[in-house]
C-alpha cells in the first residue's frame, strides 16, 4: 500500500521485533511488571511522602520519551502521508491504552476542524469499555480485526497499536493483520522491547521503568502514552496545515470560549480590531482560517475557501509571513 508509495516516510525498513541472541521473555521479565525500589513500603508513607514519590517518578518520563523521538518521527511521517493520500489513522488498545487512544482521536476534530474520520480510536470491548473495565476483552485477538473491519479499516490506513506491557493479544493481532493487508503500522509500548515478536514500521518503546504500584500501567505508562499520542497527532496536524505559527487557525468556534479565541487569532493575524475580527468570524461561518483569508485577500467566503483548497490548507502559502509569526 502507501509504504511502497511513500518511502520517505520511513528512514529504514519495517522493524522486525524478533530479537536476535536473546531468550524469549516472560511476563514477569517485563520492566513494567517489576517492583519499583523507589516506592518500596509506600503503604507506610504519609500522604505527602506518597505524592512526592509519584511526582519524582513522573519527572523522568519526559526524558524517556525524548529517547525515542526518532521512532515517533517515523510514525508522524507515516501518519502525514497516510492523511495526504486519503487514508485514516486508527489507534487500537485495551484498558487505559485504548481509552487514551479514543481520547486523543476524539479531540482532533474540535481542535483542528479536521474530519471526524481522520483519527479514530478502537478499544477492546467497545464503547462500554470506555467507562468500565470489560474483563477479558484484550484476550480475544480475533475481535480486534472484527472491530477494525467494522470501522472501515483498509490497507490505505495506518494502525497505531498501544500496549504498555507489549503483551496484549488484541493489539498484537491487530498489528499483524494490518501489516498483512499493507497498512502502515506503529507500536507504542512502555518496555525496552516487546514481549511478543511482531513486525511493524515504527516501534516506539518508551522504557518508563517499574511502575509505582507494581504492574499498574495507568500510572507512568499512561503518562508516557499520552505524551506520545499528543506528539503524533499534533505534529501531524501541524504538517497538514492546521496551524499557522503556533496558532490553531483551524479550530471550530463551537462555543463562547472558542469564538473568543478565534476572534483573537483573527485580530492577531490581520489589521482588524477585536470586534471587527469577531464579525468577520461570523461572516465566515465561524471558520477562523476562512475569515483570515477573506481579510487578507479582500475576497468572499467562497473565494477564500477555494484558495484554501488550492493551497492544500497551508495558510502561510496564501497570506505569507505576518509580523511576529
pLDDT in tens, 168-184: 999 999 999 999 999 99
With vertex at residue 207, the alpha carbon angle to CA 202 and CA 210, rounded to the nearest 5 degrees, is 145
C-beta neighbour count of 140 within 10 angstroms: 15
Contact (Cβ atoms closer than 8 angstroms) between residue 63 and residue 224: no
Question: Is residue 6's pLDDT more than 80?
Answer: no
Residues with a catalytic annotation lie at: 107, 138
Closest CA to 139 of 185, 92, 165, 173: 173
Q: How far is CA 205 from the centre of its chain?
A: 15
**Span 37-56, average pLDDT:** 94
Could you read off the pLDDT of 130-171 as tens digits, one per residue? Answer: 988 887 889 899 999 999 999 999 999 999 999 998 889 999
Coil, helix or strand at residue 244:
strand
Which residue has 518508551 as its cell numbers? 206
- Domains by residue range for the chain, with CATH: 2-240 (3.40.50.10490), 256-319 (1.10.8.1080)
Question: Percentage of residues in the chain with pLDDT exceeding 70?
Answer: 92
C-beta neighbour count of 24 within 10 angstroms: 10
**C-alpha grid cell for residue 290?**
476562512
Radius of gyration of the chain (CA): 22
**C-alpha grid cell for residue 229?**
499520542
Question: Is residue 59's pLDDT more than 80?
Answer: yes
CA distance 80 to 87: 10
CA distance 276 to 271: 9
**C-alpha grid cell for residue 245?**
505559527
**Span 297-309, average pLDDT:** 96
Q: What is the structure's pLDDT at 199?
A: 93
CA distance 144 to 100: 17
Question: Is residue 17's pLDDT more than 80?
Answer: no
Q: What is the structure's pLDDT at 15?
A: 56
What is the per-residue DSSP string for 153-181? --TTSEEEEE-TTS--HHHHHHHHHHHHT
Contact (Cβ atoms closer than 8 angstroms) between residue 4 and residue 78: no
CA distance 316 to 249: 11
Model confidence at 56, pLDDT cuts 50, 70, 90, reads: very high
Question: Is residue 98's pLDDT more than 70?
Answer: yes
User: Would you give the DSSP letter of residue 214?
Assistant: T
**Span 272-294, average pLDDT:** 96
Question: Is residue 306's pLDDT more than 90?
Answer: yes
Closest CA to 97 of 169, 170, 162, 180: 162
Look over the chain and give the mean of its residue pLDDT values, rounded to a whole number.
90
Amino acid at each position: 500500500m502507501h509504504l511502497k508509495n511513500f518511502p520517505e516516510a520511513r528512514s529504514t525498513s519495517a522493524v522486525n521485533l524478533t530479537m536476535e541472541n536473546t531468550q524469549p521473555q516472560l511476563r514477569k521479565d517485563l520492566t513494567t511488571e517489576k517492583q519499583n525500589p523507589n516506592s518500596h513500603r509506600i503503604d507506610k508513607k504519609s500522604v505527602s511522602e506518597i505524592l512526592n514519590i509519584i511526582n519524582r517518578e513522573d519527572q523522568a518520563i519526559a526524558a524517556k520519551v525524548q529517547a525515542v523521538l526518532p521512532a515517533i518521527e517515523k510514525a508522524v511521517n507515516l501518519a502525514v502521508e497516510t492523511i495526504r493520500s486519503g487514508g485514516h489513522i486508527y489507534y487500537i488498545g485495551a484498558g487505559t491504552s485504548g481509552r487514551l487512544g479514543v481520547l486523543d482521536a476524539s479531540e482532533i476534530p474540535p481542535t483542528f476542524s479536521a474530519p471526524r474520520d481522520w483519527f479514530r480510536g478502537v478499544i477492546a470491548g467497545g464503547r462500554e469499555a470506555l467507562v468500565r473495565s470489560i474483563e477479558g476483552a484484550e484476550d480475544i485477538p480475533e475481535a480486534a480485526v472484527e472491530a477494525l473491519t467494522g470501522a472501515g479499516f483498509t490497507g490505505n490506513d495506518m494502525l497505531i497499536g498501544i500496549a504498555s506491557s507489549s503483551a496484549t493479544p488484541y493489539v498484537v493481532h491487530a498489528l499483524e493483520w494490518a501489516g498483512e493487508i499493507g497498512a502502515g503500522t506503529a507500536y507504542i509500548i512502555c518496555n525496552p522491547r516487546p514481549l511478543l515478536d511482531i513486525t511493524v514500521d515504527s516501534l516506539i518503546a518508551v522504557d518508563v521503568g517499574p511502575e509505582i504500584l507494581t504492574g499498574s500501567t495507568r500510572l507512568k505508562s499512561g503518562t508516557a502514552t499520552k505524551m506520545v499520542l499528543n506528539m503524533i497527532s499534533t505534529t501531524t496536524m501541524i504538517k497538514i496545515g492546521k496551524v499557522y505559527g503556533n496558532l490553531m487557525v483551524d479550530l471550530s468556534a463551537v462555543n463562547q470560549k472558542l469564538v473568543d479565541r478565534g476572534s483573537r487569532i483573527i485580530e492577531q493575524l490581520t489589521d482588524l480590531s477585536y470586534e471587527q475580527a469577531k464579525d468577520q468570524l461570523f461572516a465566515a461561518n465561524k471558520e477562523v482560517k476562512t475569515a483570515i483569508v477573506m481579510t487578507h485577500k479582500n475576497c468572499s467566503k467562497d473565494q477564500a475557501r477555494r484558495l484554501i483548497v488550492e493551497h492544500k490548507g497551508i495558510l502561510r502559502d496564501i497570506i505569507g509571513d505576518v509580523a511576529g509569526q
